[in-house]
Amino acid sequence: MNGWYDPYSNPRVNYGNSSFDTPNRLVAYALYNLPGIGTGTALKYAVNDWSVDTSFQAQNGLPYSAGVSGSNSSSAIAADWNGNGNVSFVPDLGHNNLFFPRDIVDDVRVEKGFAFTERYRLQIFLQAFNVANHQNVTTVNTPAYKLSGGVATYQANFGTVSKTNNSGFSYTPRQLELSAKFTF
């Protein structure tokens, strides 16, 4: 039974949520092509060839465990919480049973096209990422207790946010991007 969280073979301690457990996730995408007018006036260039699309994602936060830091140097068995040399969380509190706040991201793109002839076309894009500028928590302080000299001290900053919108491209703060594309 190598790798069990309880060295005394208590199988219940080994059960818990996966580190990637996301029980509720909603992803939606919508594309709107705005209708145009067919006249040959200059007004046609202002009102035709507009499109708006949006992608929306919302999900439960990922799970985490109450962890420990430091070492229990007075233990004759090992230097961590319960002596098995493998545990980074408090077994009696459970494994991955605490959750980050929910994540919400809404990205919007507005596009305007200009056709000069059948051969030449210009497209202008305005993209807004994380429009609502929602704070998506990506890391929290997980050490709940610090072990030192046989004493476990509760850490007051346990569960507080340490990083937000910090997972590369997925959850970024609000950003705007203006671009153009010319086809010939």
Q: What is the pLDDT of residue 13?
A: 67
Query: Which uninterrupted H or E stretch holds 89?
Result: none
Grade residue 152 by pLDDT with cuts at 50, 70 and 90.
confident
Has residue 140 got a pLDDT over 80?
Answer: yes
Asked, for residue 6, whether it belongs to a domain, the answer is: no
Q: What is the pLDDT of residue 6?
A: 61
Domain residue limits at 50: 34-183
Mean of pLDDT over the chain: 80
Asked, for residue 133, whether it belongs to a domain, the answer is: yes
Mean per-residue pLDDT for 26-50?
Answer: 82
Asked whether the whole model's pTM tops 0.75, one would answer no
Mean per-residue pLDDT for 13-39?
Answer: 84
Asked, for residue 13, whether it belongs to a domain, the answer is: no
State both tokens at 158: 């346990």
Asked, for residue 172, whether it belongs to a domain, the answer is: yes
Q: How many domains are contained in the chain?
A: 1
Has residue 163 got a pLDDT over 90?
Answer: no
Write down the residue that tokens 């990922």 correspond to: 62
Greater model confidence, 116 or 102: 102
Instruction: Give the span between the Cα atoms of 11 and 147, in whole angstroms.
Output: 25
Asked, for residue 5, whether it belongs to a domain, the answer is: no
- According to DSSP, residue 4 is labeled -
Determine contact, residues 84/5, Cβ cutoff 8 Å.
yes
Determine contact, residues 95/108, Cβ cutoff 8 Å.
no
The four Cα atoms 162, 165, 171, 174 give a dihedral, to 10 degrees, of 160
- Indicate left, alpha or beta for 115 from its phi (over 0: left) and psi (-120 to 50: alpha): beta
Asked, for residue 173, whether it belongs to a domain, the answer is: yes
Asked, for residue 8, whether it belongs to a domain, the answer is: no
The pLDDT tens digits for 44-102 are 777 888 999 999 999 999 899 888 877 665 544 444 555 545 556 776 777 888 999 99
Grade residue 7 by pLDDT with cuts at 50, 70 and 90.
low
Has residue 8 got a pLDDT over 50?
Answer: yes
Write down the residue that tokens 């007051």 correspond to: 156
Grade residue 115 by pLDDT with cuts at 50, 70 and 90.
confident
Phi, psi of 99 (to 5 degrees): -130, 145
- Among residues 106, 109, 161, 162, the alpha carbon closest in space to that of 134 is found at 106
State percent of the chain over pLDDT 70: 77
